[in-house]
């Protein structure tokens, strides 16, 4: 799967503040590179601006860094890319409503930037630790279902529940089928 990331949107979600610093950009790139290497997914990180007038793509093994250039915004570049590659296995990570609506119109799954970041960070393998009692190494690389559930609940604190979501949940719990959009989102989340 190829994951298209609205870079500054994600940076501002992770590091609130007026402007993203170079150190923060590099940290994000390193984290996404490690995630891509471990997951087998490809990451396309799209930034506004850059040194050139037109878009420039720095292709690396598991991650591509795109600078949209001076004539186009990262949002426009992402939407154009989605139009051209709509039949590929794509996931978009952006909280920009215009990008989300465009992706949805094309049938491409889009998740909020912060939600995407928290999801992939939860899947990050932890370093192996030495157990105190035995001196043996225990692998703690996969979180338990309870840890993931707790993370999801904590991440959803402060999110306003819409009436339509409650109605959809009630309809689903009465034996009706889950919507096609929700099934597609679940399939993409499993790939992360």
Q: What is the rounded CA–CA span in Å between residue 41 and residue 24? A: 22
> What does the mean pLDDT of the chain come to?
80
- pLDDT above 60 for 133: no
Residue 90 lies in a domain: yes
pLDDT at residue 169 in the model: 54
Residue 64 lies in a domain: yes
Please compute the mean of the pLDDT values over residues 114-129 and round it to a whole number. Answer: 79
- pLDDT above 90 for 16: no
Residue 133 lies in a domain: no
Measured in degrees and rounded to the nearest 5, phi and psi for residue 69 equal 90, 180
The answer to whether the beta carbons of residues 114 and 94 sit under 8 Å apart is: no
pLDDT at residue 60 in the model: 86
Residue 84 lies in a domain: yes
Q: Does the reported pTM lie above 0.85?
A: no
- pLDDT above 50 for 130: no
Residues constituting the chain: 192
Residue 70 lies in a domain: yes
Q: Six-digit token pair at 73?
A: 């915004």
- pLDDT above 60 for 2: yes
CATH code of 90's domain? 3.40.50
Domain count, the chain: 1
Please compute the mean of the pLDDT values over residues 38-45 and round it to a whole number. Answer: 93
Q: Six-digit token pair at 98?
A: 């215009």
- pLDDT above 60 for 166: no
Residue with the bigger pLDDT between 106 and 133: it is: 106
Q: At what angle do helices 22-39 and 7-14 cross, to 10 degrees?
A: 110
Q: Which range of residues forms the domain containing residue 42?
A: 2-122
């Amino acid at each position: 799967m190829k994951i298209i990331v609205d870079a500054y949107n994600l940076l501002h979600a992770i590091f609130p503040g007026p402007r993203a610093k170079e150190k923060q950009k590099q940290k994000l790139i390193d984290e996404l590179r490690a995630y891509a290497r471990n997951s087998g997914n490809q990451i396309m990180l799209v930034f506004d601006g850059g040194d050139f007038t037109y878009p420039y793509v720095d292709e690396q093994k598991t991650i591509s860094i795109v600078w949209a250039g001076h004539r186009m915004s990262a949002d426009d570049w992402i939407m154009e890319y989605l139009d051209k590659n709509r039949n590929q296995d794509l996931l978009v990570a952006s909280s920009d409503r215009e990008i989300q609506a465009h992706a949805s119109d094309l049938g491409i799954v889009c998740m909020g930037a912060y939600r995407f970041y928290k999801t992939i960070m939860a899947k990050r393998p932890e370093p192996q630790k030495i157990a105190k009692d035995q001196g043996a190494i225990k692998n703690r690389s996969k979180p338990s279902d309870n840890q993931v559930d707790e993370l999801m609940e904590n991440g959803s604190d402060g999110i306003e529940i819409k009436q339509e979501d409650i109605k959809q949940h009630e309809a689903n719990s009465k034996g009706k089928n889950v919507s096609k959009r929700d099934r597609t989102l679940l399939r993409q989340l499993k790939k992360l």
